[in-house]
Amino acid sequence: MGQIEVIQGDITALDVDAIVNAANSSLAGGGGVDGAIHRAAGSELLKECMLIAQKRSPDSPCPTGDAVITGAGKLPAKYVIHTVGPVWHGGSQGEPELLASCYRKCLLLAEEKGIKSIAFPNISTGVYGYPKDKAAQTAVASVRETLPQSPGIERVVFVCFDGENYSLYKKLILDYN
Ligand code: AR6
């Protein structure tokens, strides 16, 4: 089964097959990691996103919990997988299931594309306000549950931007391994 790693840093710098973007349903870019990925990838990425948006439902090109894949423009990665995490409303509006779905769909899409290494940011833990400890537990559990169904994936990297997420993930991965 694929290895799980945790690092602290900027996901746009990672030389892996695919990096995951914490996008919004419009796929039109935004702030946080989404903004950083679009800036580093260049305008080609937005063009690809808009083509996908045209083909899918115009109201919500990528619903919460779903994922779509594009090329990666000028990034070192080959692909960007855009997924839309839930906004935190207190936890009783399906947030854990939707967040788990983001990680699962990204891995299954990656498997379909023959991707061997994939890096995730801490989806929903910025602007969308998901508590970091709860998000980390759901993320790690979802990845571990899905990896047996994605045998082509050799390496999963959790990229933590801030120290708090890094400590949480380090502890969870140690506990699991
Ligand atoms: N590399 C890795 N992680 C990062 C980076 C980076 N360069 N920059 C920020 N993070 P957020 P969300 C971390 O807000 O909560 C956007 O406007 C950040 O510290 O980017 O899912 C979208 O368009 C945090 O831990 O995403 C949506 O509208 C994590 O990435 C909305 O924000 C996620 O924070 C999505 O909100």
What does the pLDDT look like over 71-128, one tens digit per residue?
A: 999 999 999 999 999 999 999 999 999 999 999 999 999 999 999 999 999 999 999 9
Check pocket membership of 126 for ligand 1, CB cut-off 6 A: yes
Report residue 176's pLDDT band, with 50, 70 and 90 as the boundaries: low
Question: What is the pLDDT at residue 177?
Answer: 55
Question: What is the pLDDT at residue 174?
Answer: 83
Check pocket membership of 150 for ligand 1, CB cut-off 6 A: no
- Is 34 designated active site? yes
Residue 88 is which amino acid?
W
Residues in contact with 54: Cβ distance below 8 Å, sequence separation at least 6, in sequence order:
none
DSSP code of 64? Answer: T
Question: What is the pLDDT at residue 2?
Answer: 83
Average pLDDT over residues 123-137: 98
Question: What is the pLDDT at residue 57?
Answer: 81
Residues in contact with 129: Cβ distance below 8 Å, sequence separation at least 6, in sequence order:
87, 88
Check pocket membership of 161 for ligand 1, CB cut-off 6 A: yes
Question: What is the pLDDT at residue 127?
Answer: 98
What is the side-by-side order of every strand in the sheet holding 117-120?
3-8, 155-160, 117-120, 18-22, 79-83, 67-71
Which residues, listed in sequence order, are joined to residue 18 by a DSSP beta bridge? 79, 118
Name the residue with tokens 């070192």.
76
Taking the whole predicted model, whether its pTM rises above 0.75 is answered as yes
What percent of the chain lies above the pLDDT cut of 70? 98
Question: What is the pLDDT at residue 120?
Answer: 98
Show the domains of the chain with their CATH numbers.
3-176 (3.40.220.10)
By alpha-carbon position, which residue is closest to atom 9 of ligand 1?
Answer: 33
Question: What is the pLDDT at residue 95?
Answer: 98
| pLDDT surpassing 90 at residue 58 | no
| pLDDT surpassing 80 at residue 13 | yes
* Greatest C-alpha distance within the chain: 43
